[in-house]
Amino acid sequence: MPAASRTIRLVDIAREMGVSRPVVAAALFDSGGNTRVSPALAARIRATAARLGYRPNAVARQLKTGRSRLIGVVIGADNPQVNQTRLLQLEAEAFRRGYRLLIAYLHDMRESTALMADFVARGVEGVFWLHLPFCLEQPPKAAIFKQLPRVIFNEERWCPHGGVIRIDYAGGIHQAVHHLAARGHRRIGMMLAGRGGWPGDPILARLRGYQTALRELGLPGGRSHVWFGDSPDPAASAIDAALAELLDRRRVTAVIASNDQWAAETIKALRRRGLRIPEDVALVGFDNDDLARRLDPELTTVDHNHDLFVQRALELFERLAVTPAAAADEILIPARLVVRQST
């Protein structure tokens, strides 16, 4: 265990140089109150600090200033791929802006109270709540966010003072339907992994985008060409039931799957039926998971635009510090159709 010898403090440098602590602080950081120090002295102080191996104590600073440069992030088990990719991008953008992320993985909504209490205790400057509750699950209670001045949600505002960033699921599906229509498809079916539990549920947004596009294009279908599943899990039996409905009964020539995982299982099921993609049936996914481009055929899907999401998220986060009312702003991230081989 090296260098455990003695932690170097600001005062140690001050003593060594025969100056006061504020002088050292002014030389090393922007702090030091009104204290100003000559460039020459500042340079000497920095040299000494480097020689002694001085490391500022962020904890002491935080205690004094109340600023932690720490953001709590709650991620869920709801869509591992999407959340994990987004988390890493979020970290990159947060780091660029001088923040660090404290992560909490929400396994069970009952843990949420303790998680938020811990975030408060650690003085996070705000929380990104990226977990989407399933329809089976209780949404988070607004009370748990009370002591967190800045909270940003994904899709749904779970407490009155929180901001929300939404992905344009409806727009993504809308693009997909138009794309399929342009490829000549007139009977377009959709499979959804659930029925939608709360107002902002992406399941409902997908349905909206689908129906709007069909109407615009004058295509048949609507709810009748949508298969609703009961579980988020793309079990083979569920896929087979969906295809029996959509292909056999409704004679669709294109299927929009609930997400890329469902699409991957649909590829298997279509191959079991001896159908070619996209010649016999076109297929669209959602999420643009890493797997989408690894599938055979490579999957046409809708991308979440994580880049823009994390940028807007951090912009909003910084704006909330100045203007809490900015939480009411509507932020919608456009989704992007990524065309590959499956359509």
Which parts of this chain interact with DNA (CB under 7 A)? 7, 9-11, 18-23, 25, 29, 31-38, 41, 54-57, 60-61, 63-65
Q: Is 280 in the site for a second copy (CB under 8 A)?
A: no
The mark string for 153-182 relative to a second copy (x by CB under 8 A, - otherwise) is --------x---------------------
Strand partners, 333: 167
Cα dist from 142 to 111, 131, 305, whole Å: 14, 14, 28
Q: Is 103 in the site for a second copy (CB under 8 A)?
A: yes
Q: Is 113 in the site for a second copy (CB under 8 A)?
A: no
Q: 299: Cβ–Cβ under 8 A, 6 or more apart, which residues?
A: 260, 263, 264, 267, 283, 284, 285, 291, 292, 293, 340, 341, 342
Q: Is 59 in the site for a second copy (CB under 8 A)?
A: yes
Rounded to an integer, what distance in angstroms lies between the CA atom of residue 142 and that of residue 179?
Answer: 40
Which residue from 43, 47, 63, 136 is in contact with a second copy, where contact means CB under 8 A?
Answer: 63
Question: Please, which residue, 5 or 34, has the CB nearer to a second copy?
Answer: 5
19 contact, one of a second copy, DNA, none, CB 5-8 Å limit per kind? DNA
Rounded to an integer, what distance in angstroms lies between the CA atom of residue 252 and that of residue 242?
Answer: 11
Residue 230 identity (one-letter amino acid): D
Rounded to an integer, what distance in angstroms lies between the CA atom of residue 123 and that of residue 117?
Answer: 10
Are 226 and 187 spatial neighbours (Cβ–Cβ below 8 Å)?
no
3-state DSSP helix/strand/coil % of the chain, to nearest 5: 45, 15, 40
311 contact, one of a second copy, DNA, none, CB 5-8 Å limit per kind? none
Which pairs from 16-25 meet CB under 8 Å and 24+ separation? 16/48, 16/52, 17/44, 17/45, 17/48, 19/45, 24/49
Q: Is 201 in the site for a second copy (CB under 8 A)?
A: no
40-48, 142-150, 175-183, 192-200 -> range binding a second copy (CB under 8 A)? 142-150
Q: Is 88 in the site for a second copy (CB under 8 A)?
A: yes
Are 116 and 148 spatial neighbours (Cβ–Cβ below 8 Å)?
yes
51 contact, one of a second copy, DNA, none, CB 5-8 Å limit per kind? none
The secondary element (H helix, E strand) that includes residue 214 is: helix 202-217
25 contact, one of a second copy, DNA, none, CB 5-8 Å limit per kind? DNA
For the beta carbon of residue 293, count every other beta carbon within 10 angstroms: 14
11-19, 28-36, 60-68, 182-190 -> range binding a second copy (CB under 8 A)? 60-68
For the beta carbon of residue 247, count every other beta carbon within 10 angstroms: 20
291 contact, one of DNA, a second copy, none, CB 5-8 Å limit per kind? a second copy
| Region 7-26 residues binding a second copy, contact defined as CB under 8 A | none
Which residue from 104, 132, 213, 282 is in contact with a second copy, where contact means CB under 8 A?
Answer: 104
Residues found near a second copy in the complex (CB under 8 A): 1-4, 53, 55-60, 62-63, 68, 70, 75, 80-81, 84-85, 87-88, 91-92, 95, 100-105, 107, 117-118, 120-123, 146-147, 149, 161, 261, 264-265, 267-268, 271, 289-291, 294-296, 324
